[in-house]
Amino acid sequence: MTAEIGVAARAARWVRRFAGDVGDAHVLGTVRIAFGAMLFWQTLELGRDLETRGYFGDAFHVPFVPEAWMPSARVYAGMLAARLLFAALVLVGQAARPALLASSLLGMYGLLCDRVQFHHNRYALYCFAFLLAFTPCHRALVLTRGDAEGPGERLGSLWAQRVAQVQVALIYVASGGSKLFDRDWRDGLVIADRFARYGGEALARGVPAAVVEWFSRPSVTSGLAKLAIATELFLAVGLWLPRTRVFAIWWGVMFHLTIEVTSRVELFTWLTLATYAFFVVPDYRARKLYFDATRPSGAWTARAVAALDWFARFEVRAWSPDGLRGGHSVVVVRRDGTRATGVRAIAMIARCVPLLFPLWAPLAFAASFTRGGEANTRA
C-alpha cells in the first residue's frame, strides 16, 4: 500500500514537473527562426513546383483524404501564399505561435492531398512546427522588436519542448529499429548497393579508387550498416542522458553531415540539427567568457563568440588581467564556476557555439592531453 502511494506520488510529481517546468526561451527563439526559414524555403519549393509542373490536383495524384476534400488550384495557390506569410511571421516572431500552428496544419493537409509528394523530412518539419507552436518560442528574439527581452519576459513553460525531445527520439527509434529488423540492412546489402551504384560518381568527383574499393567491400559495408543502426539507436537514448548528451549531439551532427554530403535529403539534415537544440539546457549566459582586450587574439575571440553565440551561452566581458588571468587571452568560467584557459577554453567555446560545434570533440580530445588550462579556483 505504502509502495503504491509512493509510486502514485512520484508519478503525480513527475506529471506536475512535466506540465509546469519553466525555463529561458532564448534557445527556442533561435529554433523558431530556423524553423521559419525552413518553412519559408519549403513553401518556396512547392511554389516552384506549382509554377513549373502546374497544380498537382489537375494531374495524377494519390490522396490520403477523399477526393472531395482536395483544394481547387486557386485555393491551393492561396494556401501556399498564406504559408509563405506564416513562415515569415514565424521567422520574425510576430504572432509566431499561431503562424507555426497554421503552417504545420496546412503543411500536413498538403501531404494528405498527395502521397506521391510525401517525404519524411517534410512530415517531420510539420510535426516539429506543430510542437514548437506550444513552446514559449515567441518570447525571445522577436526581430521586429527594437529592444531585447528582459529575463522575466523570456521565461515560459517547456512541456512542449519535452514532447519535441520525445519526437526526436521516436524518429531515431523508428528509423534505427526498422533497419535493425531488416536483414538486408543489418547485413549491409542496402549500403553495399548504394556504394555499387554511386561509386562511379564518387570516382568522378575525385575520390581515390582505393577508397571507393575499400568502402565497397562486404565486410566494410556490413560494419557501416551496423554502425548506422547503432548510431540511430544510441542517439535515441544518448541525447537524454546528461553524461552522454554532448557527445551524442556531436556524433549526430557528424552522422547527419555525412548523410548530407552523400545523399539528397532536402531539408532533413538542417531540420535534424535544429531539433538538437531542443536538448540544449534552457538557460541564458550561464557561462562567462573573460577576454584580455589589450591582446588582438582576445578581442578577436570575444567578437567572434559574441557574434556566433546564438544560444546565448556566454556572458562576454573584458577584464583587467590579474594573477590568474594574466598570460591568457581568454578565460572561460563554466556553469559550476570552474575556469578553463588555453585549449580547454577553446574546446568550451566550440562546445557552446553552434557553427564551431563540429570541432568540439577533436578539441576536447586534444585538451584532455594538456596539463594546464584547468584553473581549480572558482570564479
Partner 1 sequence: MPEQLISRRTLVARCALAAGYLATQLALVATAGARPEHAFGFRMFSESSTVRLHLLRSVEAPSGHGTILVDAPAGSWNARDAAGTVHRFAWRDRVRAPELSTFDVTMHAAYGADAQVARLRAAIVDVARHIPDDAETRELVLDVTIRKNGREAEVVRLRSGAR
* Sign (positive or negative) of CA dihedral 245, 248, 254, 257: negative
Q: Which residues in 34-73 contact partner 1 (CB under 8 A)?
A: 53-54, 56, 59-60, 62, 64
Choose which of 178, 258, 320, 368 interacts with partner 1 (CB under 8 A): 178
Give the range of 15-23, 31-39, 243-251, 361-369 binding partner 1 by CB under 8 A.
15-23
**Strand ranges for 206-344 from DSSP E:** 287-292, 314-319, 330-333, 339-341
Could you say whether residue 151 binds partner 1 (CB under 8 A)? no
Choose which of 120, 186, 245, 285 interacts with partner 1 (CB under 8 A): 120
Question: Cα(221)–Cα(310) distance, rounded to whole angstroms?
Answer: 38
Could you say whether residue 19 binds partner 1 (CB under 8 A)? yes
| Alpha-carbon distances, residue 302 vs 64, 130, 211, 332 (angstroms) | 53, 36, 41, 11
**Which is closer to partner 1, CB of 282 or CB of 342?**
282
Q: Least distance to partner 1 from the beta carbon of 165, Å?
A: 11
Q: How many residues bind partner 1 (CB under 8 A)?
A: 57
Measured in whole angstroms, the distance separating CA 274 from the mean position of its chain's CA atoms is: 2
Could you say whether residue 17 binds partner 1 (CB under 8 A)? yes
Give the range of 37-45, 125-133, 207-215, 319-327 binding partner 1 by CB under 8 A.
125-133
| Alpha-carbon distances, residue 279 vs 27, 45, 48, 55, 161 (angstroms) | 10, 29, 34, 39, 9
Could you say whether residue 197 binds partner 1 (CB under 8 A)? yes
> Please, where are the H alpha helices in 54-143?
73-92, 96-113, 120-132
Could you say whether residue 186 binds partner 1 (CB under 8 A)? no
Choose which of 50, 85, 101, 182 interacts with partner 1 (CB under 8 A): 182
The residues, any chain, with a CB within 8 Å of residue 333's CB and separated by 6 or more, are 287, 288, 289, 290, 339, 379
**Which is closer to partner 1, CB of 141 or CB of 271?**
271
Q: Least distance to partner 1 from the beta carbon of 107, Å?
A: 13
* Beta-sheet strand order (sheet of 330-333): 314-319, 287-292, 330-333, 339-341, 374-375
Could you say whether residue 245 binds partner 1 (CB under 8 A)? no
Choose which of 26, 32, 139, 179 interacts with partner 1 (CB under 8 A): 179
CB 15 within 8 A of CB 126: no
Could you say whether residue 223 binds partner 1 (CB under 8 A)? no
Could you say whether residue 23 binds partner 1 (CB under 8 A)? yes
Choose which of 9, 81, 95, 123 interacts with partner 1 (CB under 8 A): 123
CB 145 within 8 A of CB 269: no
Choose which of 33, 70, 87, 127 interacts with partner 1 (CB under 8 A): 127
> Please, where are the H alpha helices in 322-359?
342-352
CB 34 within 8 A of CB 93: no
Compute, in degrees rounded to 10, the torsion defined by CA atoms 120, 123, 128, 133: 170
CB 63 within 8 A of CB 70: yes
Could you say whether residue 10 binds partner 1 (CB under 8 A)? no
What interhelical angle do 159-180 and 120-132 show, nearest 10? 160
Q: Least distance to partner 1 from the beta carbon of 291, Å?
A: 30
**Which is closer to partner 1, CB of 97 or CB of 325?**
97
**Which is closer to partner 1, CB of 21 or CB of 374?**
21
Residues that bind partner 1 (CB under 8 A): 15-23, 53-54, 56, 59-60, 62, 64, 115-118, 120, 123-124, 127, 130-131, 134, 155, 157-160, 162-163, 166-167, 170-171, 173-175, 178-179, 182, 184-185, 189-194, 196-197, 263, 268, 282
